[in-house]
Amino acid sequence: MRAFRSLSPWVFSALLLAACGGGDPSVPGTGSPSGAPTTKGSFTAVVSFGDSLSDIGAYAPATSLAGNGSAPYFGGKFTTNETSTGAPDANPLGKVRVENVAASLGIVVTPAEVGFDGVSVKCPAAAVPALAGTCTAYGQGGSRVTDPNGIGHNPVNGKGALTVPVVTQIANHLARFTSFKDTDLIFVWGGSNDLLTQFGIFLAAAAQIQADAAAGKLTADQANQALFAAQTTAQAAMKVAAQELVTDIRTQILAKGGKYVAVMTLGDAAGTPSAQPLPVALKPVLTSLSQIFNLWLRDGLAGQSVQIIDTFTLFSDISANPAKYGFLNITTPACDIAKISAVTGGAVTTGSSLFCNATPGAPYNGLTAGADVTTWFFADDVHPTTGGHKAWSDIFTAQLKSFGWI
């Protein structure tokens, strides 16, 4: 009795902690999700929402070899691509994480929507009736959480990338399949393009502030205040994006039957080649935008029945220990900007891996001389090679195992 009495306050506080997801209730973002399944799922579908990191070929028509939107395609995914017809195949070249994870579970997954320049087809795989239920990979390059005008989408004429936002991707899934099923393995990885957008706005503001300071229009203190304000504005926007994503996960996935739901944090964009040209002083701002998003994502998911795959920590480990994951180069994009520009007739000058073909000997091969798609991590300034995607696939699989889901 004595032992019981002295123990009970501890038991009680442990229960309280469990109820609110642990952490320090007075500090937002310190809690954890709780209540996600701990048993193996009988998965028949991989349902994936997100952006280019989850895109399995939404924009393939933009890389039509004939130039008319029809197959074969020389690119189409944000990685080192194979030449493809757009149909699922067994070639490991050009395979991305969502496909790899699905394949490891014996599941076929196809793009939910394919198109470019304002023309698109939903569930093209349904042309083969047996594949009608496979079009559950909603991720599209450039997509933001709620803003339909993602990166690469022309808001005036609707041309360019489709960038269907994550919340609309989820709504589209519900429109097609009515609800989420216990047999759905659900991934949500959004926010990267909100980050890139907000950081772009911050960079423009910072450049103006520095110019004004150099011209003597601002004192050093005023310039610092303005920079701080610009940083805070970007952070506040990331908080909004995270909270919008959380709300949608709660009301449109969990409340609509989603059982096996994995939500990804954002990796540190400062660890990608895109951050290399940045002044050292601005890199922490870039890092902070991921962290702010992740903080409010965690805050909103505390006590929710999801699992978090913390790509921030996982990517930091890849960055710090590339050899552990089999990488010899984690700083240089494998795709060559000049080659991709030539292949696209000068239309693509960013070196986007969407247009990067890795087929050996192909005249439209876009690889940098000496690049290796298995030992170089990055295809372009933000997207992984097929080797990078393979590493992510292995990491995700290990995470799913640790959850007890597979």
Partner 1 sequence: MKTISSLALAAALALSAFGAQAQDNVVKVGVTRYTTHSKTNGVSGIGVPPGADAETGDATTVIFVYERLFTPQVGLEFVLGIPPTIKAKATGSVAFLGDNVLSAKNLAPTLFLNYHFFAPGDTLRPYIGAGINYTKFTNVKSSLASDVKLGDSTGLALQAGINYAITKDLGLFASVAKLDVKSKLVASGASVLTTTIDFRPIVYSAGLSYQF
Which residues bind to partner 1, rule: CB under 8 A? 26-29, 220-221, 224-225, 228, 231-233, 235-236, 238-239, 284-285, 288, 291-292, 295
Nearer to partner 1, 202 or 378 (CB): 202
Nearer to partner 1, 23 or 303 (CB): 23
What's the min distance (Å) between Cβ of 195 and partner 1? 13
**Which of 99, 296, 281 has its CA nearest to residue 195?**
296
The strand pairing partners of 188, in sequence order, are 49, 263
What's the min distance (Å) between Cβ of 167 and partner 1? 21
- In contact, 235 and 194? CB cutoff 8 Å: no
Nearer to partner 1, 8 or 224 (CB): 224
What's the min distance (Å) between Cβ of 265 and partner 1? 13
What's the min distance (Å) between Cβ of 202 and partner 1? 11
What's the min distance (Å) between Cβ of 256 and partner 1? 30
The rounded distance, in Å, linking the Cα atoms of 176 and 187 is 17
What's the min distance (Å) between Cβ of 59 and partner 1? 33
Nearer to partner 1, 169 or 235 (CB): 235
Nearer to partner 1, 70 or 232 (CB): 232
What's the min distance (Å) between Cβ of 139 and partner 1? 26
Nearer to partner 1, 186 or 285 (CB): 285
Nearer to partner 1, 83 or 288 (CB): 288
